[in-house]
Amino acid sequence: MGRTLENKQQIVEEIKSLLIESEMALVLDYKGLTIKEMSDLRARLHKNHGICKVTKNSLMRRAIDGEKKWADLNTLLTGTNAFILIKEDVGGAVKAIQSFQKEINKSETKGALFEGKLLSDLEIKEIASLPTKEVLMAKIAGALNSVTSKVAISINEVPSGLARSLKQHSESSES
């Protein structure tokens, strides 16, 4: 029994709302994956603010229709697709997908769309090689802490330097 028109419209609306929140869409060929493997992929993505959505290409076409940001996704809509929609940690989610693909060796990436641009396989791999959001935040915090420490030492050095100069001057005046 097929889906009703109302049910299809609900799916399209759900995909549209997910796309609005997403920074990146990645398309996987999921042919041959078991339910257990798909559940594993979804669990990995959940940790990295990603969602795996399996739907018909025609429903995805309707969801991206009129959306300039996602228009180039049309070129990837052939065959059996799982759509990975990533909200925040793009690098972490892509790493999770690539790790999953290495372990099961059944799925391949058809392509990805990031900020309205189709990405090559090399660009997708480069995104995966980026440090995670948490690592970047830690590096920024460390850099800021270093700067504030240097500023504090410099500010503290002004009165100390002045005091040394005055002491030297007073000692030279006494002699």
Confidence of residue 160 (pLDDT cuts 50, 70, 90): confident
Q: SS3 letters for 42-98? A: HHHHHHCCEEEEECCHHHHHHHHCCCHHHHHHHHHCCCCEEEEEECCCHHHHHHHHH
CA 172 to CA 110: how far, in whole Å?
80
Other CB atoms within 10 Å distance of the CB of residue 115 = 9
End-to-end CA gap in the chain = 107
Residue 26 has pLDDT above 80, yes or no: yes
Residue 1 has pLDDT above 60, yes or no: no
Mean pLDDT over 59-88 rounds to: 92
Residue 138 has pLDDT above 70, yes or no: yes
In this structure, what token pair is assigned to residue 156? 């503290």
| Per-residue pLDDT, 174 | 67
Indicate the range of 7-11, 36-40, 51-55, 166-170 predicted with least confidence: 166-170
Confidence of residue 34 (pLDDT cuts 50, 70, 90): very high
CA 128 to CA 92: how far, in whole Å?
7
In this structure, what token pair is assigned to residue 16? 């549209």
Query: What is the percent of the chain where pLDDT is above 70?
Result: 97
CA 162 to CA 154: how far, in whole Å?
13
Residue 60 has pLDDT above 90, yes or no: yes
Do 81 and 28 touch, CB atoms closer than 8 A?
A: yes
Confidence of residue 61 (pLDDT cuts 50, 70, 90): very high
Phi first, then psi: what are they for 53, rounded to 5°? -120, 125
Q: What residue type is assigned to position 46 of the chain?
A: H
CA 147 to CA 96: how far, in whole Å?
34
| Per-residue pLDDT, 175 | 60
Residue 2 has pLDDT above 70, yes or no: no
Confidence of residue 169 (pLDDT cuts 50, 70, 90): confident
| Mean pLDDT, the chain, whole residue set | 87
Do 28 and 109 touch, CB atoms closer than 8 A?
A: yes
Confidence of residue 29 (pLDDT cuts 50, 70, 90): very high
